[in-house]
Amino acid sequence: MGLDLKRLQMCLLLFFCGWVALSQGEKAPGPCVRIGACTILEIAKRSMTDSRILEQLAEAATKNQGGNKAIKGIKGLKVNDIRPPNVTVSFVMKVGMRMEVICQLTIAGKSFIGGSMEITVKSNMTTISKMIIKDKVISFEVTKCTVDLISCKTNLPSNMLPKIVNKFLNSTLGKVLPGMMCPAADKVVGQMKEKMLTVWNQQPIGDLGFILYALTGSPVISSKHAGICFTIQITRKNGEVIEIPIEPPALNVLPELSPENSELTMPVNILNALMKLLEDVLEREVSSDRGGPEINRDVLAEKVPSVEIPEGDLIFEIRSTETPTWALEPGVATLKDPLKIELKTRPEKENLFIVTATLKINATFQEMNGHLQILLGEDSLKDLALESSSVGDFDPELLNGYFLDILRATLLENLKKSKSLLDNLGLPPQPGHFPCHESISQQ
């Protein structure tokens, strides 16, 4: 990435599992975020760019500050060059973060001895910030800020260096740089807090319901990451709260995470609870006049010759017998929907046969602008069984492909159109969304 501040990235790794390392007692485990230094590093760079802190610094360095002349004996000061800063971020265990900003600028003017003169100064700003909970919101508070000189070079003759450099250090570095550079740290933490403010409010899940996050306790700061956990509340549009089941742990300890990455841990029980919002979408009455494959006596007789289908209009009633659930394995996510497929006459709705099956849909996850997107992939119908039949026994596997065609044209089409959940699930508060890793690890 080098020093190009226009290419901002944040290392964000979505990680789904059945449990979290930071246990939340008897309550259903909620999402947790482990924030890596990479995340805060890019926020710091964005903050310095957006606030024009370097330009302000340069302007102040060439002007009088509180009655002190910038550099005595030099006229027509101007900034010739500002190098993009080198920013590093690390965590201070049990406190917060340490940020160092190395900045280099070159100032030019006319010296009192005549001729042009350039002075190039490189300095290092170091800040210590404490991660705190204030008004139930995560925030940083700068507790220490220092600015030190790294080097100072000039094109003046060596016998002129002591006097000019000394005045430059006294008037500019000693008086100007701390007052101009340290506000950059305040800007960084201010932007992080501002980014988080709105996500503490109740967020809509499309037109299906709402999701609300709340902190479960103080952040846990290690030498590599800042750990934050949340409780979660999911409600329908009518205000009914959806119960989030407590499930046995799939993982007792989260895997190691490199300091370059941040990680969102979303327990699978939350994904399962969210599927309850789709109950209406997953029920469907299917007939030929509502689209999809033909549903009539001739088609069924061709596929299952052994059954005696009566004359007249036919319909399929397809419904989920239980709320669909997610099965997560390394690299694979599968949505499992247990179905009951009933063939009935119309309008009498006389039951002809009932087949049970499990619809399985592979899926992938990705983060987009602070929201979770669920991308549905390959589907299949498994575990077909004939529950009852008034038209004779038959092997329901003979209708596997036919049922899948019906499901794809109806239930699956409805599910894919339901962008409310698949594209609009707001994720827990994170200090920025500039993904440099789009891959998702599923355990």
**What is the 3 state secondary structure string of 14-31?**
EEEECCCCCCCCCCCCCC
What's the chain's average pLDDT?
75
Answer with the one of 160, 195, 230 that is the final residue of a domain.
Answer: 195
- Answer yes or no: do 41 and 184 share one domain: yes
Q: What pLDDT score does 1 carry? A: 25
What's the N-to-C CA distance of the chain in angstroms? 30
pTM: 0.69
- Answer yes or no: do 185 and 297 share one domain: no
- Answer yes or no: do 167 and 59 share one domain: yes
- Answer yes or no: do 189 and 307 share one domain: no
Residue 173 resides in a domain: yes
Query: Residue 322: which domain range?
Result: 282-417
Average pLDDT over residues 38-57: 69
Residue 422 resides in a domain: no
Q: What pLDDT score does 24 carry? A: 43
Residue 161 resides in a domain: yes
Q: What pLDDT score does 9 carry? A: 30
- Answer yes or no: do 166 and 291 share one domain: no
Residue 349 resides in a domain: yes
**DSSP 3-state assignment of 73?**
coil
Average pLDDT over residues 105-131: 80
Residue 408 resides in a domain: yes
d(CA 98, CA 145): 10
- Answer yes or no: do 178 and 316 share one domain: no
Placement of tokens 């009935």 in the chain: 344
The model's confidence at residue 14, banded by pLDDT at 50, 70 and 90, is very low
Identify whether the C-beta of residue 335 lies closer than 8 Å to the C-beta of residue 364: no
Residue 69 resides in a domain: yes
Chain segment 221-236, per-residue pLDDT in tens: 888 888 888 888 999 9
- Answer yes or no: do 183 and 291 share one domain: no
Identity at 348, one-letter amino acid code: E
- Answer yes or no: do 43 and 175 share one domain: yes
- Answer yes or no: do 166 and 42 share one domain: yes
Residue 431 resides in a domain: no
Answer with the one of 137, 169, 195 that is the final residue of a domain.
Answer: 195
Chain segment 372-401, per-residue pLDDT in tens: 888 888 999 999 999 999 999 999 999 999
Identify whether the C-beta of residue 215 lies closer than 8 Å to the C-beta of residue 136: yes
Residue 51 resides in a domain: yes
- Answer yes or no: do 181 and 323 share one domain: no
Identify whether the C-beta of residue 425 lies closer than 8 Å to the C-beta of residue 199: no
Q: What pLDDT score does 86 carry? A: 87
For residue 388, give the CATH number of its domain.
3.15.20.10
- Answer yes or no: do 152 and 45 share one domain: yes
Chain segment 169-191, per-residue pLDDT in tens: 556 656 666 776 777 777 777 77
The model's confidence at residue 419, banded by pLDDT at 50, 70 and 90, is low
Q: What pLDDT score does 110 carry? A: 76
Instruction: Report the number of distinct structural domains present in the chain.
Output: 2
- Answer yes or no: do 60 and 156 share one domain: yes
d(CA 214, CA 347): 51
Answer with the one of 195, 224, 240 that is the final residue of a domain.
Answer: 195
Identify whether the C-beta of residue 429 lies closer than 8 Å to the C-beta of residue 193: no
Q: Is 11's pLDDT higher than 50?
A: no
The model's confidence at residue 252, banded by pLDDT at 50, 70 and 90, is very low
Residue scoring higher pLDDT (204 or 196): 204
